[in-house]
């Protein structure tokens, strides 16, 4: 069937209405349909429509001034060929359940299309996930790499449940500042070690990392000694932050994880701030990285994080810190 292109929009006449009624293409407009660039290109590529004066190549060139048209078309085509009905909006695409279409079913996914070099803007991402959740849809990122391969990620905002085990009560102790860490003289059965704090230096001494020390000082469990005098929380934070600009962020996320009964330990070997134990298992359950809510992280960095977490059978969460609290954002690869 024939369609017309007026330089900005593709339209069909009355004969195009079955495309919408049977397969969910386009939007009804007058007696015919108005097609999005992705729909028109896909239908032209599949030889379901003709656009007089244009081939697939030349029509693609007409839309090439839109920088996202290539990757949007690739995602649209992939979803269609997986058996989904796809329409534009409210993000990039809304995707209906298989076998359903506009007017005869509900959309299941809201899809945002990115390239591998696009940044993840956490504030915007969180807003879009909340909007999707309010509409009872799953929020999906469709990422197109430089070789036109597609990867889909499901994004969830996780509300942390309390851990299944109760940590022991902590006995207040003194600690001696040693560099940016602290040393506590304590036996191997101390409440600190049972609660997952510190690393044993020898049978008599336990070393506390800066983020652990800040948490314990904030709770009043540790009194930090420097030389012959005590050291306040603010003084120690200023000292330790000289060599770790992310320490305040990490302390905020660490405190929230501890508040839920989890045991965070350094995640350095996995390339992240924390590996997190949620119960009594000897294996950690989560990888967590603290970020500012206003942070922008390249999608390529997110991809590496998710693959690492998947390879060691853990969930990947980013703790986005803002003035009203922390939003934990989970990224997970998904097969549609």
| pLDDT at residue number 323 | 78
Distance CA 108, CA 76 (A): 15
> What does the block give as tokens for 169?
């009560």
Residue 168 neighbours by CB distance under 10 Å: 13
Report the pLDDT value the prediction gives residue 189, as an integer from 0 to 100: 82
> Are β-strands 10-12 and 27-29 bridged in parallel, bridged antiparallel, or unpaired?
unpaired
Question: How confident is the model at residue 103, as a pLDDT?
Answer: 85
The residues, any chain, with a CB within 8 Å of residue 12's CB and separated by 6 or more, are 1, 2, 3, 4, 19, 26, 32, 33, 35, 49
Tokens of 96: 């209906």
pLDDT of residue 65: 85
Confidence band for 17, pLDDT divided at 50, 70 and 90: very high
How many other β-carbons are positioned within 10 Å of the β-carbon of residue 50? 13
Instruction: Give the pLDDT band (50/70/90) at residue 246.
Output: very high
- Torsion angle of C-alpha atoms 63, 84, 153, 67, degrees rounded to 10: 0
> Is 314 in the active site?
yes
Answer yes or no: is pLDDT of 282 > 90. no
Known catalytic residue: 283? yes
Is residue 317 pLDDT above 80, yes or no?
yes
Q: How far apart are CA 214 and CA 151, in angstroms?
A: 39
In percent, the amount of the chain with pLDDT more than 90 equals 84
Pick the catalytic residue from 250, 293, 314, 315.
314
230-243 per-position pLDDT tens digit: 999 999 999 999 99
189: left (phi over 0), alpha (psi -120 to 50) or beta: alpha
Cα 132 to Cα 89: distance, rounded to the nearest angstrom: 12
Question: Residue 215 — pLDDT band, cuts 50, 70, 90?
Answer: very high
pLDDT 10s digits, 176-202 = 999 999 999 998 888 999 899 999 999
pLDDT in tens, 125-182: 999 999 999 999 999 999 999 999 999 999 999 988 877 677 778 989 999 999 999 9
68-77, 95-104, 278-287 — which one is most confidently predicted on average?
A: 68-77
Tokens 């905020």: give the residue. 252
| Cα 78 → chain centroid | 22
| C-alpha span between 272 and 14 (Å, rounded) | 57
% of the chain residues with pLDDT over 70: 100
Catalytic-labelled residue, pool 2, 194, 283, 310: 283
**Can you say whether the dihedral through the CA atoms of 240, 241, 243, 246 is positive or negative?**
positive
Give the separation between CA 44 and CA 52, rounded to whole angstroms: 11
Give the number of other CB atoms < 10 A from CB of residue 180. 16
Pair of tokens at residue 271 = 């390339």
Q: Pick the catalytic residue: 277, 289, 293, 315?
A: 277
CA–CA dist 293, 318 (Å, integer): 10
Residue 104: the pLDDT is 87
Band of the pLDDT at 60, cuts 50, 70, 90? very high
> What is the mean pLDDT of the segment spanning 48-61?
94
Check residue 236 and give its pLDDT. Answer: 97
Instruction: Check whether 281 has a pLDDT greater than 80.
Output: no
pLDDT of 157 reads 95
Q: How would you class 213 by CB atoms within 10 Å of its CB: exposed for 0-12, middle for 13-18, buried for 19 or more?
A: buried
Alpha carbon distance 39, 23 (integer Å): 11
Q: What is the pLDDT of residue 187?
A: 85
- Chain-centroid distance of CA 81 in Å reads 26
pLDDT at residue 279 greater than cutoff 80: no
């Amino acid at each position: 069937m024939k369609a017309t292109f007026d330089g900005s929009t593709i339209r069909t006449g009355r004969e195009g209405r079955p495309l919408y009624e049977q397969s969910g293409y386009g939007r009804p407009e007058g007696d015919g349909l108005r097609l999005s660039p992705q729909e028109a290109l896909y239908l032209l590529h599949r030889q379901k429509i003709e656009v007089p004066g244009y081939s697939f190549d030349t029509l693609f060139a007409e839309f090439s001034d839109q920088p996202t048209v290539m990757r949007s078309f690739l995602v649209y085509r992939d979803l269609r060929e997986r058996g989904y009905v796809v329409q534009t909006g409210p993000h990039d695409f809304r995707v209906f359940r298989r076998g359903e279409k506009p007017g005869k079913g509900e959309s299941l996914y809201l899809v945002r299309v990115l390239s591998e070099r696009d940044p993840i803007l956490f504030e915007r991402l969180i807003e879009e996930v909340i909007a999707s959740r309010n509409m009872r849809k799953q929020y999906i990122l469709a990422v197109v790499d430089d070789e036109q391969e597609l990867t889909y990620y499901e994004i969830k905002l996780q509300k942390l449940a309390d851990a299944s085990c109760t940590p022991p009560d902590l006995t207040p102790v003194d600690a001696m500042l040693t560099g940016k860490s602290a040393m506590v003289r304590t036996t191997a059965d101390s409440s600190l070690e049972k609660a997952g704090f510190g690393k044993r230096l020898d049978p008599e001494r336990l070393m506390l990392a800066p983020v652990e020390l800040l948490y314990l000082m904030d709770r009043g469990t540790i009194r930090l000694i420097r030389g012959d005098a005590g050291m306040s929380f603010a003084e120690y934070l200023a000292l330790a932050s000289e060599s770790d600009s992310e320490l305040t962020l990490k302390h905020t996320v660490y405190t929230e994880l501890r508040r839920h009964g989890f045991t965070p330990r350094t995640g350095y070997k996995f390339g992240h701030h924390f590996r997190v134990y949620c119960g009594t298992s000897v294996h950690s359950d989560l990888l967590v990285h603290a970020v500012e809510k206003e942070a922008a992280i390249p999608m390529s960095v997110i991809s590496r994080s998710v693959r690492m977490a998947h390879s060691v059978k853990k969930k990947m969460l980013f703790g986005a810190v803002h003035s009203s609290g922390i939003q934990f954002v989970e990224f997970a690869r998904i097969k549609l």
